[in-house]
Structure 1
């Protein structure tokens, strides 16, 4: 138990505290799912689990509300595991330690898991509270949303009975979402073509750190620095030194997080070190000026390290660096119909040298399939020219806005009744599961809203305490106002 249990609404924060205490990164949701199942069984609720691991909990309507449309409250079970360098944390074993900082709850050196733990906690709080008024209720908790939307991809038709979906995975108080981007993963593999490291040389490790990182959908338009793109630029700049050779490189840990750190091991003649350090100092000054106000703490360093036993042959080194430099990254197109909405983007999320291959992962997002497929083709072409194999995997559709949505109208009216003002109606450039869920249940009327969460997918993640209270007030009132079924 932590101090966040003293916050209001107590039920939501109590469940969130329990969620934080049970490790649940993507692919490791079983223990949290087990706890929720036992807890729901103790309440006498109907609990079902499908073959992929999605959890469905049903609660009957409040007395007199049996004729209302069935509502599906939806969240995902998993969280993004990210920690700062130097923070020792095993996300499969260690609990998240939430703490209060003014109006915010955050963690220390790691992601908090408010994405989507706060939404999940609100769903459980609704199930637990028999004083609330609502129609027939189902809570759908999906698995592996952050690393592949596996649960949503494998959701079976006919399993759920509701007509309205309230998704809780949005991250801005005062905003209500009616659409989201689709996406596709580009998984890239290059054979490591090696040659022995020449004798008489020294090795230096290039480190890029101190970047903010962030969510590859929500933050991609802000122009935050990508450690992987900076790494490509620096390696390309170092190519003017003909004898500087590349042994290994790595950057980022998740394809849906902007890379915060990257590194490479270089082999070079000792006499080239001063010029290399001088060039790196120039780039650090350039980057700090270029990203001022966006990424103010970029740190570049070259440190001595052990001489590796192998280096890349020169053709591979040149092709790889050029491909990474040319790889599409960032906000690539803005919507022509919605102000300040990213239409299409790509994130160079992960670079890894492992055994006899180099692996690269990109996540491409777009509000329309044409934009998604266009950037996927560009990315494929760039890396195939470098001799790589590119596999496009996990393509999922966007959630197309429905301007005539009855549930959107209800949420807008309820928000105005509760808070005295209308919320902003938006489309989010992130992969909410609504697109996939709506593909399986096309009759669902869907909307997404949630409290303010900043820094999602990074150790800077924090959630607003006051926004959680407002989110809860809105959710409870929307459930009370759910319309009757059309007979």
Structure 2
């Protein structure tokens, strides 16, 4: 599978990426890939071990004469976001990713590509395998479950890593280097809501909102793209005068992906159907107009369903739930005054579900300020407490405070100028890189993050610009060699 990847340059990197595409690795199912990489390390004569959580480390001794160079850690995560188009059945725990090339970009057929963070992992493996590279002590750290909980980084063993410089390979823009990122937390809301039997004349109907682009809930949060859960609440409020009651609901699949689709089953009187359809048609035009130029594919449909339903939320419970979700924070909350052009605080209404009266919401709050993350969580608790729901915060992780004058950053900037003739843009990202967590466990580390040009991450539109991968590889390889040179700052200066 994916044999065409072997023809791309740099060949060593793309061959490893082919292995990752052919080995299913959604979050929580990385075991097969870990075993594959351990077998590869054995064949290469590389030392390898795991910490108690299962994070994998591969080690390579320094080239002769480079033993005193500062140790370099190449870091990425093994898991990928599992998103597929509704019309493309795909079992991410069993099926390989099928890739193809179009107009200089590598894409996947109907699914996420896994370039996030598969290309970073592949680049680290290619560095370890390169027999011509002159380097100091090398470690490759591959973490687990980054996309769902940051679990691997949060549970990373302390006192395990040996290096002083960490190169995070999980960024998505060529010509840029990242030195800071937002922290975040999952906000989980749950409730058991009252139901009542469908009355005579009420029938179940299926309401669908589809066609949105989706995307990364941090990087794409300020683009103005639609959030299916937020938009569906507008639709449900528009249908409230028709007496519609919620039977069940499913919107979004991952808390860190902008939801592209939402589906609801409604109890609706048959004689209200024509009015509901008219309201739906008008609202569809209104929403498409609002999203023009950003997310124009939205479609709404209300159809009869073959499924049987005995009960729906009571009219009061349905009304209160829809209103609470409509009022919930969603999207950009505040832009940063310290870092112009960067989102400071945001929230993604990622996954909403209702079944047999059981309601569950998982939202992902991000902020450059940990206090703002907590405040947003408190707002959820206050709002949903009004309908009797319980709110808790899970998987909280800190942000990564920028160090704009670090020697490592200066080395990268000089190399970027020498190789590409341009100054890299130094950035802070509104996304959850693992660097903040790793820096908390290893405060002595100097860290930067860079990568190839990836677009549409966390959605089936994910793609990577092929030329940027070679540029990324040459920068990474050059930096590893540069950090091992005798003329580089000594280990103390780089610590």
- If the TM-score is normalised by the length of the shorter chain, which range does it land in? over 0.9
Partner secondary structure for residue 486 of structure 1: helix
**Alignment deviations for residues 75-103 of structure 1 (CA, whole Å, 9 cap, x no partner):** 00100000001101000000001111121
Distance 1:47 1:221 in 2: 41
The yes-or-no answer on 1:256 pairing with 2:256 is yes
Distance 1:473 1:228 in 2: 42
Distance 1:472 1:319 in 2: 53
Q: 2:349 touches 2:362 (CA, 8 Å); kept in 1?
A: yes
Partner of 2:156: 155
Distance 1:6 1:392 in 2: 46
Q: 2:249 touches 2:355 (CA, 8 Å); kept in 1?
A: no
- Residue pairs, 1:53-92, within 5 angstroms: 53-92=54-93
Partner of 1:47: 48
**Alignment deviations for residues 159-213 of structure 1 (CA, whole Å, 9 cap, x no partner):** 0100000000000001100000000100110103221111222221110000000
After superposition, the CA RMSD in angstroms is 1.0
The yes-or-no answer on 1:485 pairing with 2:491 is yes
Distance 1:253 1:351 in 2: 8
Higher mean displacement: 204-213 or 263-272: 263-272
TM-score w.r.t. length of structure 1:
0.98
Partner of 1:372: 373
Q: 1:192 touches 1:356 (CA, 8 Å); kept in 2?
A: yes
Partner of 2:273: 273
**Alignment deviations for residues 208-244 of structure 1 (CA, whole Å, 9 cap, x no partner):** 0000000000000111100000111111121122x32
Q: 2:288 touches 2:297 (CA, 8 Å); kept in 1?
A: yes
Higher mean displacement: 297-306 or 253-262: 297-306
Q: 1:17 touches 1:98 (CA, 8 Å); kept in 2?
A: no
Partner secondary structure for residue 345 of structure 1: strand
Q: 2:320 touches 2:387 (CA, 8 Å); kept in 1?
A: yes
Q: 2:52 touches 2:157 (CA, 8 Å); kept in 1?
A: no
Partner secondary structure for residue 17 of structure 1: helix
Distance 2:193 2:50 in 1: 43
Higher mean displacement: 366-375 or 143-152: 366-375
Distance 1:339 1:213 in 2: 25
Distance 1:101 1:17 in 2: 17
Partner of 2:195: 194
Higher mean displacement: 352-361 or 283-292: 352-361
Structure 2: tracts of 5 or more residues without a match: none
Task: Kindly state the Cα deviation for residue 28 of structure 1 after the two structures are TM-superposed.
Answer: 0.1
Distance 2:240 2:118 in 1: 45
Distance 1:37 1:192 in 2: 48
Q: Residue 33 and residue 355 in structure 1: after superposition, are their counterparts in 2 closer, same or farther (change >3 A)?
A: farther
Partner of 2:311: 310
The yes-or-no answer on 1:164 pairing with 2:165 is yes
Partner of 1:134: 135
Partner secondary structure for residue 491 of structure 2: coil
Partner of 2:285: 285
Q: 2:248 touches 2:356 (CA, 8 Å); kept in 1?
A: no
Distance 2:20 2:125 in 1: 11
Task: Kindly state the Cα deviation for residue 356 of structure 1 after the two structures are TM-superposed.
Answer: 4.8
Distance 1:215 1:245 in 2: 32
Partner of 1:239: 240
Partner secondary structure for residue 146 of structure 1: coil
Structure 1: tracts of 5 or more residues without a match: none
Partner secondary structure for residue 239 of structure 1: helix
Distance 2:149 2:232 in 1: 26
Distance 1:8 1:68 in 2: 29
**Alignment deviations for residues 357-413 of structure 1 (CA, whole Å, 9 cap, x no partner):** 111000000011122112111122111112111011111100000122111111111
Partner secondary structure for residue 249 of structure 1: strand
Q: 1:4 touches 1:100 (CA, 8 Å); kept in 2?
A: no
Distance 1:192 1:302 in 2: 24
Higher mean displacement: 191-200 or 281-290: 191-200
Distance 1:402 1:294 in 2: 34
Task: Kindly state the Cα deviation for residue 314 of structure 1 after the two structures are TM-superposed.
Answer: 2.0
- Residue pairs, 1:385-404, within 5 angstroms: 385-404=386-405
Distance 2:256 2:274 in 1: 37
Partner secondary structure for residue 477 of structure 2: helix
Task: Kindly state the Cα deviation for residue 36 of structure 1 after the two structures are TM-superposed.
Answer: 0.2
Q: 2:180 touches 2:399 (CA, 8 Å); kept in 1?
A: yes
